[in-house]
Structure 1
């Protein structure tokens, strides 16, 4: 799917018009099928080192293409209490969908994950991120979506997170679990800016939306299959988050 087509679809969403672009959405879905956009899960080893913490709540920020699917995946992970779509990598003043879509803000569509380390570790979240949430070997695109705003990135909140993330990227490349080199950027988090309300919980609220059906629902099935002990059926929705 071209950036222009996807941008037009989202502009329609801002006006609350879901039926008006049904034909366009169908055409895009068919194009995606022909292009083979849906990603298969890659079974990978867990990280050799992990974050150690006694905190009851931790946060992590991941970028892996359209945030609809990445958010949806992490919302189905046990121990995750919230997963919010937003923007990271650029300035606060440019953190809006219309501006970020131009691909010149430095932002990536990202997801801030709040989790309980006693139930799921940072390393386990990384494993899910690399295995089922996106394809870490695609440079500045994911499936049908192209541009630096769709790049693969991990925005770390502490030196330990950065150490774990860097080591895991090196581990995966050395093990050659992917056919190509991992291109995921690992950078210190300078800011996370929550995306517009219509982007939150999008996968759950729009399960029949063609883009979701083809590109994102398979990720949820992959999570359930590859990580059955970590998967939970009821997602942790932003609309239901406490506080």
Structure 2
């Protein structure tokens, strides 16, 4: 088994299920979507690879790929186009959009498995070399190296303590930290810091991160945590 998570996006439900079944047999974690619109409603940042059909409804595979490549949070997700279109122009378009591979229908499942494995191996090794020090949730990016936070590419101005609180919560998604925990980890040796200080900083942080403020959840009587929504 491995931890690679793959999203198959194709308007042919039967094909989605066939690919899902065979990929899961190879040990991958697989989700499916029957349109680009459906796929774009999910948290795409959790996927290591997208298998993307070109010919779909209102938003084509090419258009969806273009949207993803323009968003810093999803720009590096590998994409394999799967399509009945196999002209040279279509292939060139796919690669120009940043596709990692291109498979034409009809195809053998064995071919798909081999190409998926090759792309994941190649992109995984590339990611290890770069080792970006970032925490990403949808359009929210926390850069640990540059000490910056951005939302949809726009930098958010946080104080040092606000940044450190967000870093703590994001690094431990779902874990509840009491006020005492946060004081010990963020304020450390500083003295005369009141519990109320935590509440004030959390309130400001929620406002500054906009729609992601709702992810900073209060557990009454226990403390705070960051939950994916």
TM-score range, shorter chain: under 0.3
Superposition TM-score, scaled by structure 1 size: 0.26
Structure with greater strand percent: 2
If you compute each CA radius of gyration, which structure gives the higher value, 1 or 2? 2
